[in-house]
Structure 1
Amino acid sequence: MSQYRTFTAADAVAYAQQFGGVESPDELVDAQEIGDGNLNLVFKIFDIHHRSRVIVKQALPYVRCVGESWPLTLDRARLEAQTLVEHYRHCPQHTVQVLHYDPALAVMVMEDLSDHRIWRGELIKGAYYPQAATQLGEYLAQTLFHTSDFHLHPHNKKALVAQFINPEMCEITEDLFFNDPYQINERNSYPAAIEASVAALRDDSALKVAVASLKHRFFSHAEALLHGDIHSGSIFVADGSLKAIDAEFGYVGPIGFDVGTAIGNLLLNYCGAPGQLGIRDAAAAREQRLTDIRELWQAFATRFARLAATETHDAALAAPGYVEAFLKKVLTDAVGFAGSELIRRSVGLSHVADIDTIADEEMKHACLRHAIELGKALILVAGQVDNADELLIRVRQYS
């Protein structure tokens, strides 16, 4: 068995030559480290014609942006690879393909997506991909339905839960989403100018009860194999194409968490647009984000219901009206989780470029306050939201 070592660029090239599955592997000659996240090394592997051919990704045994003082399990590389492989089985058109995985080295080789762009950057620029929201809804429906009790035999579902137990990465999510923003914590990171908004989170007892309910659902509702971190920075887009990547937070949890995280990130762009674009373009972008959210939910709910109608064999789950009731619960969960995503991105460790890169400081602070207030409102009214249009009304109400 291989012994773990941190890859250099030369190691990544040699590994890609062996496991990249390309014709003429000797033509793979160079690597560029492109990882801009908190957890991993990511290498693009180039051939003699300077074309990027495959990606080599290695998990580090610590949080990259902090250092060795925050250790992390290398088993997350297994969980990521197996989550992506499982999701690719059910939705290959919207999941990055894993070509090879080595558990001892915590390395995997994946298809190159150089003809795609990270969706977050495209959203910030105001670039529009007409099919992206619908494609994301399709990805969520296919992957979450086919790894749920609606599709799997109970024995297989329980085996899936055991395979994807991910306590260390779930603990990070639990802290960043449901603990840190609502207390004084050294991991929190936000401008002093918004201290009053953050302090109000710590003092809002009704909000903290609602957040506790969300956390309990995250703990206890083992509904489907989640991506676990399906934000706009974990999605690549091109004309007519969308691919999900970065699934190291994969585990079996509440379906609404993935749906809500996706919606929450579209709302982050909604909140940040006035600081990233001109007045007219920002207004158009915000309207488009609301349309995207409606299309995402409709694509997800429609496909999930169709799959349930044809592929659910459990008599109780196939009872007339149950799928509709279940999807209503998923939407309720998703609205709450979307709100928690808005708050944790504004207050906590993992800021996102939708707001964090706004050049004008006063505008940045205004956008952060908006995201916090919108997040708080969504968490508190989640149980009152019955459909996507009602969600959009609520968003406009708190804008």
Structure 2
Amino acid sequence: MGEHSSVRALVESIGQSFEEFAPPSRKTSGDGPLGWPGYADQRARAAGRTDAEESVLCGRAKVGEWEAVLIAFDFAFLGGSVGEDTGARIVAAFEHAREQRLPVISLVASGGSRMQEGIRALQQLQAISRACLLTRQDRIPHVAVLRDPTTGGMWASLGAAADVVLAVPGARIAFGGARVRSAGEDGDTFRAEGKFADGQVDRVVEEPELPSALAELVSLLHPARLSRPAEPAPVPDALAAGSPPETGMQAVERARAAGRPRAGAYLDAYFASRFEISGDRAGGRDEGMICGFGDHGGRTVAFAAQTGSANTPAGFRTAARLIGLADQLGIPVLTLVDTPGAANDAESERTGIGPAIGEVFGAVAEARVPVTTLVIGEGGSGGALALAAPERTWVTADAYFAVIAPESAAAILKREPSQVPELAAHLKVRPQDLLDLGFARGIAR
């Protein structure tokens, strides 16, 4: 066996009983559509080194307990580059996934389009992008694993088009490869860790952990597991016992208490297992917004949970992305509300805090799947309301919700600090007030 055996070994480590698809009819012969001198010999030598006819290996296998379609790139075959025959194999693999309703896992390691085939190779980006889109429209999940390197068109058309994007540590990931970038530009910006920090990759996963991570994702997102139509996510149990607060200021103080149960505790209690996704795919991450998918009573539920901080535009865009993805796949959503309000510093304004909050409002309003909300702490104005589901919001006894914080109300009205408790009472922020005013459906017990 040639170097291709390492790619087959990777595939077989991720999926059991791998069955390779019969490739589509070949389109490229001789020196290719451009008549590139020596191209036929280059392909022949690559085939000899790798024991493969092309730069991708496509087939189906069991990933954990569920079947999936695998697309694996072999960088040893002409740098994992994509020509007409490569593109045809990738498109055919996506078609098989749609016909059989199987998730797609792309294991990418590619330098981009094959220059020896010119525009014919470049056109494959359009065909692959369309295959990804049709698969998404059919509510079939696509997970990409970015290996070293992932550059050019396969990052833009295949990797970045996936619903969930993983990367191996240290992988070089960039639209422009190292040989064509501006001189001297390098560093984490062009590697997996930088892409994770910039919100373009959901998680960096060590290679030995890939099989278990992919098995968990396939289990949670497999179309055969998801019911139609999606049933609402059950309301989580309250983690802190007690009666509702007597006064508005007491409600605010209890919600701000350091020892109050936070989102992490609620997620741990609610889910048997969960897989977090991260980043807004546009340059940012916010650790104050936890998003992902989890197993609750044998069902998959998506979640977007605020952790008590003032969320940034990246946090809201990540939540909007999560809700949109859940709606696409037919997965019910649980949101946990806990924020003093949206971030209001200059950087948040510059990066679009208003439009980002608007994206979440739109995602909740547009969702065809049911969204269930539990307010577990502070409900600070629009930054909290964006994640609250109309008609399906509950609140715990140690939470409040307000159009504005009572301290801010005092500042606007030019009142003394001593009048803050009075304003908290006027704002009707207690859980029982929210129930009486028709905002909440109930107080979680």
Instruction: Establish whether TM, by shorter chain, passes 0.5.
Output: no
More strand by share: 2
Flag the structure with larger Rg.
2
More helix by share: 1
Scaled by the length of structure 1, the TM-score of the pair is: 0.29
Return the structure number with greater relative CO, CA threshold 8 A, min gap 6: 1
